[in-house]
A and B are shown apart, each in its own frame.
Chain A
């Protein structure tokens, strides 16, 4: 920041460093009429001229009237270098109007070239060829201006046009283009601030920052292009915004940085700002008050702005605050420079620095504003992270609850299963063992009877255990397991199996209860076959049919008439077991034609089509596999 300040001061010093060469005359003295003049002063032979020092600062040394004449006399002789062309050069034109005469002929008029704001414009006025003569030449300047507006006449330079144009260009760079560029930078920042304001936040600070930047840019561009040829009130308001519009948001920024939050004070300041702009735009009676009020604020800038920040040592350590403080001090220095220039304490011809103050300070102010914005963004991000963390924690909690629920469901299922097994043991194994016990206690039990009974009890236990073995919903495994368990029984009875169990689709709802029922059906059917049928061969097939798994057990035994069965308990029992297995059972038999038991286990999600065997309807449409010679392929 100090470097920047040094560079600015160095740039401001450039015109003073430019030495006069042999091809340039610099006039530091001129003559002015001693009394008020009517018409061209040299026409009045009684006019007395008094000497004035250039630059002539009207604030320090007010002239009479607002239409002031100057006369500069000089001689050209043959010893002067031959010039290609001659020009007059004025580094500043702090005037409302100026007319230039060479040897009493008018050659240039300011108001024809620039409407206003020529104060910053370095002017090179070419002298038309043939107007100068060897010997004495005279230049008249007719200046219009206002003492209170810091008007005056700079030094006048005369000489080689090319050399003077170079100087004018350098001067133009400082007091024209650089101002425009800094205004453009600030204007861009203002547009960015406007965008940020519109995107979110709606911080009035940001809004006023945007307004300041944009109005500075607009006013500077308009001034540079000299688009307005008259001084309208609207333009005055714009000029006011350009020079002073940034002061209010800046003041509030300082207050906020100093952690002073006074919403009412801020509101009053905003209102004052609005009132000032309005009074200037409308050329109200308070126009002068607005200008001077802001002028005081402007002058009080360092004290007003920096003191709140300087109070806190903690704040003084923040880089953004330090930057702003440096900018405040630099702005104060620049203001002091311009004030000294106006009152004539320093060279009147030096360029004003006031134009650099708004961009300079506002660029520095952008840092804490952006910092605040970034802090907001960071806070939002932190909040999001925290929110995500909480959501994750909540999700974990919900997951844990679910797990508990599942655990409870598992426990419930386990309890149900235990209850079922207990009931089963009670009716099956328990009853069997009790009857064995009473037989054993009666004292006349035959050993074969006992061992048979115990073996049956063990089989019953194995059956129960088998029903809880994992079968992956495969009915084929259930059937196979019954066969596996009973293989020695079948071998002893000399019965041959024709086994034709295909790979079956998975049945997800094949619960141990259903498995046990299916096992019991098979044991019942097989034991009937062994005991009663006299069969040599049993064909077992299991296959998928639409909507169900169909299991058929057929033997080549003597068969029976279902209607003629005296004790229907066995068959009724089978039907009951089929219902427990979630299926339907059909027994087809007749004297001399074997027995065919069909068990149909429907899939949970599928509709059973009408007319399936087992539903008691059209049997013929679903051929039941009979005793086939060999198991077909898997």
Chain B
């Protein structure tokens, strides 16, 4: 997004496992384009530490001792809409990733992948979208049925993009396939993430309404 080569991207992270945190911190510090501004062990610490302002990127481990990582994501996303939140997961499984995206995260990092990839992933994220696995794309497609009346649904173009990603095409291939620029694909993906978060809120409201009516 607004990241330029001259100004490093500020990063904060919350991770309860000391080893993992150390490795993340080391990986971030090794990259000059990234600047660590806060590291926290618990969700409470993170929320308190970020009360004054948010970094450009916030890394959240989902398994925190005091609260669920999704709760931290939800609160930070609500308070700082401009902050790019990435959840850190070992497996990138559908349940935790979709949950994170619906809570307001912009993507996820695979824990245990080679560490130099983290900076790469963060750059991807700042450019408009972290790698989206085909499984996740398929699930997003399933949730946001295209071309229904709701504002939170997908446009036909967004559905085409998700469909291509679900079949294993990279962003570049997808752009080529649909005669778009890669940047346009990224923009569409950002919109898709936003819609997923809106959709989950709409669903929640709908569900609450339904229960009250019942």
Task: Tell me the A residues contacting B by CB distance below 8 Å.
Answer: 458, 461-462, 465-466, 469-472, 474, 476-477, 479-484, 487-488, 499, 501-503, 540, 630-631, 633-634
Contact A503/B167 with A477-B138, A631-B173, A634-B160 known, Cβ cut-off 8 Å: yes
List the A side residues contacting B165 at CB < 8 Å.
480
Task: Produce 1/0 per residue, B152-176, CB < 8 A to A.
Answer: 0000000010011111111001001
The distance in angstroms between the C-alpha atoms of A465 and B96, with both chains bound, is 13
Q: Is the interface of B mostly helix, strand, loop or mixed?
A: helix
Q: Which of B91, B112, B173 contacts A499 (CB 8 A)?
A: B173
List the B side residues contacting A487 at CB < 8 Å.
131, 170
Q: Which of A462, A472, A484 contacts B142 (CB 8 A)?
A: A472
Does A469 lie within 8 Å of B167, measured CB to CB? no
Does A481 lie within 8 Å of B135, measured CB to CB? yes
B133 at the interface (CB under 8 A from A): yes
List the B side residues contacting A499 at CB < 8 Å.
168-170, 173
The distance in angstroms between the C-alpha atoms of A461 and B90, with both chains bound, is 10
Does A476 lie within 8 Å of B93, measured CB to CB? no
Q: Which of B93, B135, B170 contacts A471 (CB 8 A)?
A: B135
Give, as a whole number of angstroms, the nearest-CB distance from B71 to chain A.
Answer: 24
The distance in angstroms between the C-alpha atoms of A614 and B43, with both chains bound, is 55
B184 at the interface (CB under 8 A from A): no
Q: Which of B93, B117, B131, B164 contacts A469 (CB 8 A)?
A: B93
Does B168 lie within 8 Å of A480, measured CB to CB? yes
Does A631 lie within 8 Å of B134, measured CB to CB? no
The distance in angstroms between the C-alpha atoms of A482 and B134, with both chains bound, is 9
Does A470 lie within 8 Å of B139, measured CB to CB? yes
The distance in angstroms between the C-alpha atoms of A462 and B114, with both chains bound, is 15
Q: Which residue of A lies closest to B141 (CB)?
A: A472
The distance in angstroms between the C-alpha atoms of A633 and B112, with both chains bound, is 35
Q: Which of B91, B94, B117, B177 contacts A631 (CB 8 A)?
A: B177
Give, as a whole number of angstroms, the nearest-CB distance from A494 to chain B.
Answer: 16
Cross-chain pairs A/B with CB under 8 angstroms, 6 sampled: A474-B138, A477-B138, A501-B168, A503-B167, A630-B176, A633-B177
Give, as a whole number of angstroms, the nearest-CB distance from B88 to chain A.
Answer: 15
Q: Which of B117, B133, B173 contacts A484 (CB 8 A)?
A: B133
The distance in angstroms between the C-alpha atoms of A309 and B163, with both chains bound, is 86
The distance in angstroms between the C-alpha atoms of A499 and B114, with both chains bound, is 25
B residues 136-157 in Cβ contact with A at 8 Å: 138-139, 142
Nearest first, the 5 closest Cβ-Cβ pairs linking A and B are: A480-B168, A480-B134, A476-B167, A501-B167, A469-B135
List the A side residues contacting B114 at CB < 8 Å.
488
List the B side residues contacting A470 at CB < 8 Å.
94, 135, 138-139
Q: Which residue of B lies closest to A466 (CB)?
A: B135
The distance in angstroms between the C-alpha atoms of A484 and B94, with both chains bound, is 14
Give, as a whole number of angstroms, the nearest-CB distance from B180 to chain A.
Answer: 12
List the A side residues contacting B139 at CB < 8 Å.
470
Does A484 lie within 8 Å of B167, measured CB to CB? no
List the A side residues contacting B142 at CB < 8 Å.
472
List the B side residues contacting A503 at CB < 8 Å.
163, 167
The distance in angstroms between the C-alpha atoms of A487 and B94, with both chains bound, is 19
The distance in angstroms between the C-alpha atoms of A634 and B169, with both chains bound, is 10
Task: Produce 1/0 per residue, B170-197, CB < 8 A to A.
Answer: 1001001110000000000000000000
The distance in angstroms between the C-alpha atoms of A458 and B112, with both chains bound, is 8
Give, as a whole number of angstroms, the nearest-CB distance from A23 to chain B.
Answer: 87
Does B163 lie within 8 Å of A634, measured CB to CB? yes
The distance in angstroms between the C-alpha atoms of A451 and B189, with both chains bound, is 35
B113 at the interface (CB under 8 A from A): yes
List the B side residues contacting A474 at CB < 8 Å.
138, 166-167
Q: Which of A465, A488, A634 contacts B93 (CB 8 A)?
A: A465
Does A631 lie within 8 Å of B176, measured CB to CB? yes
List the A side residues contacting B131 at CB < 8 Å.
484, 487
Give, as a whole number of angstroms, the nearest-CB distance from A507 to chain B.
Answer: 13
Does A484 lie within 8 Å of B113, measured CB to CB? no
Does B138 lie within 8 Å of A483, measured CB to CB? no
Does B167 lie within 8 Å of A477, measured CB to CB? yes
Give, as a whole number of angstroms, the nearest-CB distance from A433 to chain B.
Answer: 15
Q: Which of B133, B163, B170, B173 contacts A481 (CB 8 A)?
A: B133
Q: Which of A469, A472, A481 contacts B168 (CB 8 A)?
A: A481
List the A side residues contacting B167 at CB < 8 Å.
474, 476-477, 479-480, 501-503, 634
Give, as a whole number of angstroms, the nearest-CB distance from A499 to chain B.
Answer: 6
The distance in angstroms between the C-alpha atoms of A471 and B133, with both chains bound, is 11
B residues 40-57 in Cβ contact with A at 8 Å: none
List the B side residues contacting A540 at CB < 8 Å.
168
List the B side residues contacting A479 at CB < 8 Å.
167-168
The distance in angstroms between the C-alpha atoms of A477 and B166, with both chains bound, is 5
Q: A481-B168, A540-B168 are in contact. List 18 more A-B contacts (CB 8 A).
A: A458-B112, A465-B91, A470-B135, A471-B135, A474-B167, A476-B167, A476-B168, A480-B165, A484-B133, A488-B117, A499-B169, A499-B170, A501-B167, A630-B176, A631-B177, A633-B177, A634-B177, A634-B178
Give, as a whole number of angstroms, the nearest-CB distance from A48 to chain B.
Answer: 108
List the A side residues contacting B164 at CB < 8 Å.
634
Does B169 lie within 8 Å of A631, measured CB to CB? yes
List the A side residues contacting B176 at CB < 8 Å.
630-631
Does A480 lie within 8 Å of B169, measured CB to CB? yes
**Chain B CB within 10 Å — which of A484, A487, A501, A630 has the most?**
A484
List the B side residues contacting A633 at CB < 8 Å.
177
